[in-house]
Structure 1
Amino acid sequence: MEMKSMRLGLIALSATMVSGAALAADIPPRTTPAYVAPANPYDIILEIGAGAQVAPAYEGASVNQAQPFPVFKLHYLAIPGFAPITNSRFDQGFSFSPSFRYISKRKASDYSQLAGLNDVDATFELGGKFAYTFGIIRPWVAVRQGFGGSDGVVGETGLDFIWRPDPVMELTLGPRASFATSAYMEAYFGVTPAEAARSPFLTAYSPGGGFKGVGAELSARYEVSSEWAVVGKLAYEKLIGDAADSPIVKVGDENQWTAQVGLSYKFGMRLFGN
């Protein structure tokens, strides 16, 4: 009798476990909903503008002149099928942004120190800038390919120390270094034998690639509104190495100063529909 009761109890327990397992299989497991970031209403957010600068008339010049300069920054880009590119000034970690520079034509007849040299056509440089921000420190490097007067590669690297006294103001200060390939150095610091024969000041010189300058930069940004900002920069570069040894610099100045102030406008656009 006891064996029969135990057998019936085991059968009942087994039936209960099987029915409980079947019921559990019918109930979806409880999960915490994943956080979904709000969709950006734009596919691209750009900042463009312009300003005026006082800068060396050409690399190695002893005279400065007033020149216009452009402002361009990519804040956000989302291409279907790819991770979005973000470049907010408050972002931490890795960031990428385009880097470009326009160098106006160097006309030898405009400067007595360049007498006998060939003109160097205007150059447009296009490339990218990579940075890593942690806290108030941001190391970065920018590399660009030249098209036009110089087809060399040129770039800069630096370390920014960031100070934000309030949400609309940002100041950065840090060391800088610039570098270039031999093709760039030949275009802006080289002197061919034929040019040297025509020049009353310059001897033939063929520079190699490498670091061409070191210095420091102070930049400022003040956001007047969510769209408009005033930007400025004060930079110093001392030409070094083969750049400093160039006869063009010897009759000019290895100390190069640049001051800029400009106004920029930030806006977004849809590129790929709704």
Structure 2
Amino acid sequence: MNRFSELLGSRKPIWLLAPFAVTCSATPARAQTPSPLAEWQYSSGIQLQRLFEPKIPTWQVELGLGTQFAPAAPGLNRYRIQGGPGIDIRYKNRFFLSTGEGLGVNLFSFRHISFGTAISYDLGRSPHVDGEALNGLGTIHPAPELKVFATTVLTEGFPLTIRVDIRKQFGASFGYIGDVGAYMPMPGSSKTFSWFLGPTVTLADARYMNTYFGVSHAQAASSKYHYYHAHGGFRSAGIGISANYFVTPHVIINLNAAYERLLGSAAKSPITQTVNEGVVSLSALYKF
């Protein structure tokens, strides 16, 4: 039996110590849609905290600053650096305000499963983010999203966490987009360091796909692209990592990174310059 199997088979694996399980993850304000970061990376460790902590604090507050290196828009080769605040506030395991997850409420929350809703946002897309590449396609304006999500952990001995969410845009595409993701705490963690790893698949309806990857007849007439109708279905698949290092009990360095590959109509779109996308986000946070 290898070392990893021994850890999984033990009653209380050393990489599931309470200080590790309670670690939250906050990201910069501009790390929301459309970022290659997975939805689970905004809240890694929250469900495990409910599973392993006998009593969750009334208030949990993390504030700080962060920066992100990510594509200027989905499918584009150009990357840019953006900075902003990192905010993650949680009250009584019920309400939360997060730069990654939005403003939301856990409608019900138990040790192994939780279900909730939130208001988040889509940053849209400017036609000027990549020189002349998007000329004639118009602006996709920022828009609020209504999100419904569910998270579950399999068992204490094998804490694979599965998260499903669906988001409805009120503006921008007025479409639906959602994720199915899973992640797991990884060996090598301690009281001062923790990390999670897992895959994500993203799906979207035709309205969302056409807004970001389609080319209407009007857009074709005013741009260099031919008419293209995008279909709903798989948008992308990828894998992400979320890590936290406690410099002190109150100062946290948070690193999120992800890779995704565009699929289906998103990959075939004439707008798409590359099907491979990556993102790195680094934050310094103070835990009150």
The two structures have a TM-score, normalised by structure 2, of 0.66
Give the alignment of 1:114-263 within 5 angstroms. 114-133=134-153, 134=155, 135-163=158-186, 165-200=189-224, 202-249=225-272, 252-263=273-284
Q: Assess if the C-alpha contact under 8 Å between 1:101 and 1:126 holds in 2.
A: yes
Contact between 1:48 and 1:265, CA under 8 Å: does it hold in 2?
A: yes
Paired residues for 1:9-48 under 5 Å: 42=58, 44-48=59-63
For residue 97 of structure 2, what is the aligned residue in structure 1? none
Partner of 1:63: 78
- 1:77-110: CA deviation from partner (whole Å, max 9, x where unpaired): 367xx99966xxxx95113466665443422144
What one-letter code is carried by the residue in structure 2 that aligns with 1:95?
Answer: S
Q: CA deviation at 1:67?
A: 1.6
Deviation at 1:41, TM superposition (A): 6.8
Out of 107, 113, 118, which is 1:94 matched to? 113
What is the number of equivalent residue pairs in this alignment? 221
| C-alpha distance in 2 between matches for 1:221 and 1:100 | 26
Write the distance in 2 (CA, Å) between the matches of 1:256 and 1:229: 27
Alpha-carbon distance in 1 for matches of 2:56, 2:86: 24
Aligned identity (percent) is: 30
Contact 1:47 1:75 in 2 (8 A): no
Larger Rg: 1
Q: 1:84 to 1:59 in 2, by over 3 A?
A: closer
The unaligned stretches of length 5 or more in structure 2 are 1-52, 95-104
SS of alignment partner, residue 183 of structure 1:
helix
Task: Name the amino acid aligned to 2:114.
Answer: S
C-alpha distance in structure 1 between counterparts of 2:56 and 2:197, whole Å: 32
Whether the 8 Å CA contact 1:51–1:71 is kept in 2: the answer is yes
Q: CA RMSD in A?
A: 3.1
Alignment of 1:106 onto 2:137:
no
2:216 alignment partner AA: T
Residue 211 of structure 2 aligns to a residue whose secondary structure is helix
* Offset of residue 40 of structure 1: 6.8
Unaligned residue ranges in structure 1 (runs of 5+): 1-36, 268-274
Change (3 A) 1:104 1:84: closer
Contact residue 106 and residue 116 of structure 2 kept, 8 A: no
